Amino acid sequence: MILGALISYPQAIVLGLLQGVSELFPVSSLGHSVILPKLFGWNIHQNDKYFLTFLVATHLATAIVLFCFFFRDWVRIIRGIGRSLRDRGIDPDDADAKLGWLLVVGTIPAGILGLLLEHSLRKVFASPTSAAIFLTLNGLLLYGAELLRRRAPVADAEDDARIGRTVTWRGAFFVGAAQAIALIPGFSRSGATIGGGLVVGLSHKDAARYAFLLATPIIAAAAILKLPELFGPDGDGVRGQALVGAICSAATAYLAVRFLMRFFETQTLRPFAIYCFAAGLACTIYFVAT
Amino acid sequence: MLRRMRNDRTLALLAVLAGVVLIVLAIVYWIEPARSLPSFFPGHEAGSGHHHVKHGIAAFFVGLALFVFAWFKTGPKRASTPVT
């Protein structure tokens, strides 16, 4: 039995709780899952197969929570896409259809870049030191997005109509492609999409909502594609821990998305920018010094 | 007006052709190992039995997106199209 060499249950709980929060907070879940084991002195490495298998379960849990949280929105969006396909065009007043196609346009570049680059980027930037450096840069990126933010348009009555009017097709492609930066441990997917949303003119609240909707299919697809590994030989010895981690991840992901949707009604990305910059810099110095 | 319609038709035709090519490409990626892929294909690797499933998925979805683009481009003009 190789159980002792893999992830322990307390580690699974910590990593699961962390994953749920850091996947949705703009602070890089992958970066934290590389840095934290090193800080705690755990013998867990980002490219270990069993750890990747563990991450599949926690990512899937996060995606399910996101999907359930926005379930009514997804039903409306999918119906909107169906209507537009039937009518062979998007009615300018159909906010659901417009939002649905904006999400499709945003998902395509992220999906393609993810499929083609994920493996090689993960291998190249696997070290905790590089993750800490990129976490520092993530802080600068978030701060830069705040500086480049366009003034959000006058509030519309309905969230999706506002997003549909503000985000252009080109903007949707740009925000979607920005997600690919999260393939590098240390950069945050939600940070890139919320930041991208701000740059194309969305308010903080709308940018966060758009980012979470955009994240759902990508996180789910990435997890589903690797799900066979969880049930194959790579999952031996970690399935129980993965289940525990997934439950913890689901709980914190739910709390995180609830918190962030309220937080961004009045607040900005600055606290996260400061955290990433400070934590990233401190970890970089610590890893280099030790 | 007539010129724009003709441009739309040409674009739609090109999108369909590219879509068909990409779907065929996806099938080739799924059924052929890396060693059997034509040498100009991304992912060709002499002696490798690995199937580039992800390359196939990427090609399939881009192909599908091109079909949708063509579907909208050739639809009635009263509504906007997804990519402008």
| Residues of chain B contacting A169 with CB distance shorter than 8 Å | 82-84
CB neighbourhood size of A281 (10 A)? 15
Specify burial of residue B49 (Cβ count, 10 A radius: 0-12, 13-18, 19+). exposed
| Residues of chain B contacting A91 with CB distance shorter than 8 Å | 79
- Alpha-carbon distance A45 to A35, whole Å? 10
| Residues of chain A contacting B50 with CB distance shorter than 8 Å | none
Residue B2 lies in a domain: no
Which tens digits make up the pLDDT trace of A161-177?
888 888 999 999 999 99
| Beta-carbon separation of A111 and B58 below 8 A | yes
Name the minimum distance, in Å, from the CA of A263 to any CA of chain B.
Answer: 32
| Domain membership of residue A55 as a residue range | 3-289
B-chain residue closest to A108, CA distance: B62
- List residues in chain B touching A: CB distance below 8 A: 54-55, 57-58, 61-62, 65, 68, 71-72, 74-84
- Alpha-carbon distance A115 to A235, whole Å? 22
Tell how many helices (H) and how many strands (E) occur in chain B: 2, 0
Gyration radius (Cα) of chain A, Å = 19
Number of domains composing chain B? 1
With a cut of 60, say whether residue A4 has pLDDT above it: no
| Residues of chain B contacting A89 with CB distance shorter than 8 Å | 72, 75-81
Instruction: Report helix, strand or coil for B56.
Output: helix
| Beta-carbon separation of A115 and B71 below 8 A | no
B-chain residue closest to A119, CA distance: B54
Q: Does A225 touch chain B (CB under 8 A)?
A: yes
Which tens digits make up the pLDDT trace of A52-68?
888 889 999 999 999 99
| Beta-carbon separation of B83 and A169 below 8 A | yes
pLDDT band at B3 (very low <50, low <70, confident <90, very high): low
Between the CA of residue A128 and those of A132, A187, A251, A277, what are the distances in Å? 6, 13, 26, 15
With a cut of 70, say whether residue A145 has pLDDT above it: yes
Between the CA of residue A208 and those of A61, A147, A204, A215, what are the distances in Å? 19, 17, 6, 10
Q: What is the mean pLDDT of residues A267-284?
A: 95
Residue B39 lies in a domain: yes
Q: Which value does ipTM take for this structure?
A: 0.72
CB neighbourhood size of A8 (10 A)? 13
| Residues of chain A contacting B84 with CB distance shorter than 8 Å | 169
Name the minimum distance, in Å, from the CA of A79 to any CA of chain B.
Answer: 16
Number of domains composing chain A? 1
Name, in order, each residue with C-beta under 8 angstroms of A194's C-beta and a sequence gap of 6 or more: A26, A145, A204, A207, A208, A211, A264, A269
With a cut of 60, say whether residue A259 has pLDDT above it: yes
Would you state the structure tokens that stand for residue B47, as one six-digit string? 């002696």
Residue B3 lies in a domain: no
| Domain membership of residue B37 as a residue range | 15-74
Element (H, E) at A13: helix A9-24
**pTM, to two decimals:** 0.85
Q: Determine the pLDDT at residue A232.
A: 81
